[in-house]
Structure 1
Amino acid sequence: MSIQSTIYSLLPSLPPAARRIGELIVAEPAVVLQSTISELAKRCQTSDPSVVRFCRTLGFTGYVQLRLALATEIGREIAAEPNAPQFGEDISPADSLGDSVEKLRFTEVMAIEETLKALDLEQLNTAAERIDGSSRVLLYGVGAGAVVAEDFAYKLSRIGRIAQRFADLHGALMAAALARPGDVAVLFSHSGQTPEIMQFLRAVKQRGVKTIAVSNVRQSALAKEADHCLLTMVRETEFRAGAMASRIAQLAIVDCLFVAVAQRSYQPTVTALELTRQAIEQQLAR
C-alpha cells in the first residue's frame, strides 16, 4: 500500500500537528529523506514526539522506519517511470498540452494501480455476496460519484439485476423510505463526508438495509458507519486532476464488484449479456 496515498487519505482525520506533517510529506515526499526528525518537526511547527506519533499512526515504530519505507517507495516509483511527474502534481498554466495529458495519464494510472493493489479482497467478496443475494441494489453518489453510480446501475441492469440510481437526494430518500431488509445500498463519496450521502446512508440503515461504501478516507464517517467499505487510493489536486482520478479509481472498484457478482452466476450472466447485446444490434439494424 502506498505510504503517500495512505497519508493523504488520513489527512482529514488527523489532529492539527499531525496534519501539518502529513500535508508537507504529501507535497514534498523527499523531505523525509532530506531532513532529520528535528528538522521536519521545525518545518511543521511541532515537536519530535509529534513526528513519532505521526509515524505510529501510519504503522511504523518511528521516524527511521518511515524514512526507509518512503525511500523504497520513491525509488520504486522513479525506477518504474524515470521521467514521470510527481504523483498528485497539479496542472499549471505553464504546462503544454502534452505535459497536461502526461500528468493526467500518470495520475490516473497510478490511482488505479494503487487502488487495486490495496483493495481488501475479503471486503470485496463480502460486498459481492451482499449484492448477489439482494432483492434490489440502491446506488447513490453526488457529483463525480453520480457518474460512477450510473455506470454500476447500467452494468447490473445488463445482467438482469434490479438496480436503481438516484439523481438527487429527494429521489434517494423516497427510495430509502420504501427500502426493505433484502435490499443493498452502494454509496460513493471520495471524502466520505458528503452530507447527502450520509443522510441517505442513515435513512436506509434505519430500514434494515445493508450498506457498501466506496470512499478514499478510511477514517471518514461514511467508512465507519457503512457495513462494508471499499477504499480507493487517490490524492486530489486543486485543478481537479485528482477528482478525475478519484472517479477512475471508483470505476475500477465498480468493475471489480461487477465481475465478482457476475462470476457467481456465470452462465446466466453470459446469456444476459448476449441477449442485451442482440437487442441493441436489432434496434440499430432497423
Structure 2
Amino acid sequence: MGPPDRGGPRADAGGGPVVGAAADPLAAKVRTLAPSMTRSMLRVAEAVAADPAGCAALTVTGLAELTGTSEATVVRTARLLGYPGYRDLRLALAGLAAQRTSGRSPAVTSDIAVDDPIEAVVAKLARDEQQTLADTAAALDTVQLAAAVQALADARRTDVYGIGASGLVAQDLAQKLLRIGLVAHAHHDPHVAVTGAVQLGSGDVAVAVTHSGATADVIEPLRVAFERGATTVAITGRPDGPVAQYADHVLTTSTARETELRPAAMSSRTSQLLVVDCLFTGVTQRTYATAAPALSASYEALAHRRAPRPRPSTR
C-alpha cells in the first residue's frame, strides 16, 4: 500500500497480502473486514479462510457455486482481501495451505454469559485478548509500519488524534514519544485538533486513531494535516473506511467480536495499543542515540515522585 496522491484523497485503501506474518494472515483479515462485507462476500471469505487448500483447487466458477454466490462476488471478495484478482487469491491460498500445520484446533468460543463465574470471565477475556493481538500482528502491514516509524522518527512535530477509548490510545502514543525527547501532542478536542493541524506541514506527522475509520472528529484534523502536506498515519480497524482517504500509511488493527458484556472498545483498544508499542519501539531503535538519554532523564525526573518503600517492621 503506497502513499496516496498528495493532490487528493486516497483512492485505494486496500493493501497487498502480508508476507511472513506469525499468525494466519488471511483468517485475521477476514475477521477484520467482516463488518464491511455483504453476506455473499462473507460466505466466500469464510470459505477460503476455512479451507484454503480446497478453494485453491477451484476455478472462480467453482468457488461461486460452492458458496452459492456469483463469479463477480468472488472477484470483489478477492479484491477486498487485498488481491488484484482471483488468480492471485488462488496462488495465495495454495501457499497458505502449504504453510498450515495439520491438526490445528478450532477457535474456542469466548462469549461471556451474565451468570459466568469470575474465573470463567478472566479465562474468556484472556483468550479474546490473545486472539485480538494475534490477528493484529498477522494483518499488520510491516512495510507500512516501517514507513510510519521512519516518519515519526524524522518528524519535527507529531499530532495524534483520538476520541473516547481511542483518545486514551492517542495519549499513550504522544506520551511515549515525549519520553524519548520528541515533540508530540495528543488531541481529543476536535476544535483544538483542527487548529493544531492547520499549523502542520512538510516534516510533521499527524496520526489518527479510530477503530471504526469513520469518526468525523478524527478524520477532519487528519484531512487538514494531509492537505497541509504533513505525513499522515491512520490506526484503524477499517482500512476501507473514510479515514484511509487522507492517510499516507494505514495500520490495520483487529478486534474480537463485540458482545453485550464486552463492547468493541475494549478489544479494539488492545490492538491499537499493540500498534502504538510497535511504533514506539521502532522509533526508539532509530533514534537510540538520543532516545536512551531522554528515557534515563525522564526516569530520574520522576523518581522523586514515587512513594518510598515501607521500612521493615521491627516488631
Same fold (TM over 0.5): yes
Match of 1:154 among 166, 170, 175: 175
1:203 — aligned with what? 224
Match of 1:186 among 207, 212, 221: 207
C-alpha root-mean-square deviation of aligned residues, in Å?
3.4
How far apart are 1:193 and its partner, in Å? 1.3
Instruction: Classify 1:37/1:102 alpha carbon distance in 2 versus 1 (closer, same or farther; 3 Å).
Output: farther
2:273 — aligned with what? 251
Whether the 8 Å contact between 1:211 and 1:226 is mirrored in structure 2 is yes
Q: Equivalent residue of 1:98, what SS?
A: helix
Whether the 8 Å contact between 2:197 and 2:221 is mirrored in structure 1 is yes
2:287 — aligned with what? 265
Q: Which residues of 2 match residues 58-73 of structure 1 at below 5 A?
A: 58=81, 59=83
CA deviation digits over 1:139-158, x for unaligned, max 9?
01112211111111111111
CA deviation digits over 1:230-257, x for unaligned, max 9?
1113343133354322111111111111
Alignment partners' CA distance in 1, 2:150 and 2:168: 23
Match of 1:221 among 222, 234, 242: 242
1:168 — aligned with what? 189
Whether the 8 Å contact between 2:161 and 2:186 is mirrored in structure 1 is yes
Instruction: Classify 1:20/1:243 alpha carbon distance in 2 versus 1 (closer, same or farther; 3 Å).
Output: farther
Q: Equivalent residue of 2:160, what SS?
A: strand
The AA in structure 2 aligned to 1:256 is C
The AA in structure 1 aligned to 2:294 is A
Alignment partners' CA distance in 1, 2:143 and 2:33: 22
Alignment partners' CA distance in 2, 1:66 and 1:219: 22
Task: Give the aligned length.
Answer: 269
Q: Which residues of 2 match residues 34-73 of structure 1 at below 5 A?
A: 40-41=67-68, 47-49=69-71, 52-53=74-75, 56-57=78-79, 58=81, 59=83
Whether the 8 Å contact between 2:236 and 2:253 is mirrored in structure 1 is yes
Deviation larger for 132-141 or 107-116: 107-116
CA deviation digits over 1:103-123, x for unaligned, max 9?
211111122122223322221
CA deviation digits over 1:178-199, x for unaligned, max 9?
2232211011111211111111
1:230 — aligned with what? 251
1:132 — aligned with what? 153
Q: TM-score, normalised by structure 2?
A: 0.72
Alignment partners' CA distance in 1, 2:65 and 2:204: 53
CA deviation digits over 1:123-173, x for unaligned, max 9?
111111111111111001112211111111111111111110112111111
1:7 aligns with 2:30: yes
The AA in structure 2 aligned to 1:277 is Y
Structure having the higher helix fraction is 1
Unpaired stretches in structure 1, ≥5 consecutive residues: 42-46
